[in-house]
Structure 1
């Protein structure tokens, strides 16, 4: 998917400081929705969420990955990214995600058990 084709307003919206929600699915079926900070790499259609490796969202994604939805809203503007999340633990991947997070929000607090949920975006919904 080429997210650059979504246009300048879409790109700007995903660079502005907004909290997001991440929706995963529990093993028994109901959604698990939590607030997160997220970043989006338009060129690779990759969204990233940093979290603790022991978090429920990280456990739901697990080693095999999971379908997720990542959403942000600001008044009438909103955008949802759908795709498959994978859990990344490699130090260079965590450092890259932390760098991107710091650029959009602020430097994250130290967390030696930090992991990254990398989402390969396959569908975009919204009104931006």
Structure 2
């Protein structure tokens, strides 16, 4: 899975490397939003964002229930600066994809993510970006 080409100013790309959390919005099967704080990574070269989580977590179940049309949003904010990444999402437990997600997380946050037995990665093909003051 890879996202569309998205244009981000250098300041926004740099902001997305800081060790902040983001609000992650998925849609429940009834269409209501589920918002939770997460740590994530974003690869600007491929426009792919990654969130590691448990397969049983509500966010992963929401994405899986949405099928190939599942859309999500990640919004990282710091004061009056923010970037929102939107796109289609999918859940995978493919070993190579999990390893890449864990590696990127570890580089960004300088610590490995939690490693539950049911670890999965939500991959977001980012196709729309909003930002302010970057």
- In the superposition, the TM-score normalised over structure 1's length comes to 0.94
Q: 1:16 aligns with which of 13, 18, 26?
A: 18
Higher relative contact order (CA 8 A, sep 6+): 2
The residue correspondences of 1:39-58 to structure 2 (distance < 5 A) are: 39-58=41-60
Q: 2:38 aligns with which of 36, 59, 80?
A: 36
Runs of at least 5 residues in structure 2 that lack an aligned partner in the other structure: none
RMSD: 1.2
Runs of at least 5 residues in structure 1 that lack an aligned partner in the other structure: none
- Distance in 2 (alpha carbons) for counterparts of 1:27 and 1:113: 21
SS of match in other structure, 1:6: coil
- In the superposition, the TM-score normalised over structure 2's length comes to 0.90
> Residue deviations 1:84-118, cap 9 Å, x none?
00011101111110000111112123222100000
Following TM superposition, the consecutive aligned residue runs of length 4 or more in structure 1 with deviations greater than 6 angstroms are none
- Distance in 2 (alpha carbons) for counterparts of 1:23 and 1:51: 14
- Answering whether residue 74 of structure 2 is matched by residue 70 of structure 1, we say yes
Q: How many residues matched?
A: 127
